[in-house]
Structure 1
């Protein structure tokens, strides 16, 4: 039996929830992965009182994998017409479609609602940051964590 955890399907659901709350902004797959990572590990960034996926010594090593999963997830979501892709001077960026918004309305679990709240907090936190700055912030936290022995 295949696990849905840490799969493109799981990441797809979170990408939809991010884009649902993005107010029509276009995000690259790397930025979507960064927003997702910060939402799940909000405590590390001072955004939340706890991490949605708990504390784990290897969380920053997850980020590279999450970026790849997000690329696969966005590809799948575009094929299902749940998000649309724009190819501009900044590369491929994504926004949610009407079908994607309708699909999100069916996601009503406690986890989905908590995740939506965390996404809102992350989007407010990074509002004036460039993608490069957000990715550098995650990298800085990763280095700091390594120096502290994974904490």
Structure 2
């Protein structure tokens, strides 16, 4: 049996929620993966009192996989008409469509609401940072975590 956890489907839902709150920002798939990672592990970045997915020794090893899942998720969401792809000097970026916004309106679980709150906090935290700086920050946290034995 396939699990929906850490699947393209789960990432797709979170990508939609990120783009729902994006205020017309254009995000690359790497930026979407970074925002998602920081929202799920907000405590590690000082934006939350706890991590939405708990604490585990291997959370930073998840990021590489999450980047690949996010690329697949964005492709699927474009094909379904829930997000649109834009090509600019920064490569491919994504925005939510009206259909995607309508779909997000149906996502009303406690988890979805908590995740929306985390996205707001993460966006405030990273608002003056470049994508390169955000990815470097995640890398720095990963190295620090490895040095501490995964914590």
Query: Under a length normalisation based on structure 1, what TM-score does the superposition of the two structures give?
Result: 0.99
Counterpart of 2:91 in structure 1 is 91
Which aligned pairs between 1:70-149 and structure 2 lie closer than 5 A?
Answer: 70-149=70-149
**Unpaired segments of 5 or more residues in structure 2?**
none
Cα shift at 1:61: 0.1
Residue 95 of structure 2: SS of its match in structure 1?
strand
Counterpart of 1:9 in structure 2 is 9
Counterpart of 1:22 in structure 2 is 22
Point out 4+ residue stretches in structure 1 off by more than 2 angstroms.
Answer: none
Counterpart of 1:51 in structure 2 is 51
Cα shift at 1:2: 1.2
**Unpaired segments of 5 or more residues in structure 1?**
none
Query: Under a length normalisation based on structure 2, what TM-score does the superposition of the two structures give?
Result: 0.99
Deviation string 1:6-60 (CA, Å, 9 cap, x unpaired) is 1100000000000000001000000000000000000000000000000000000
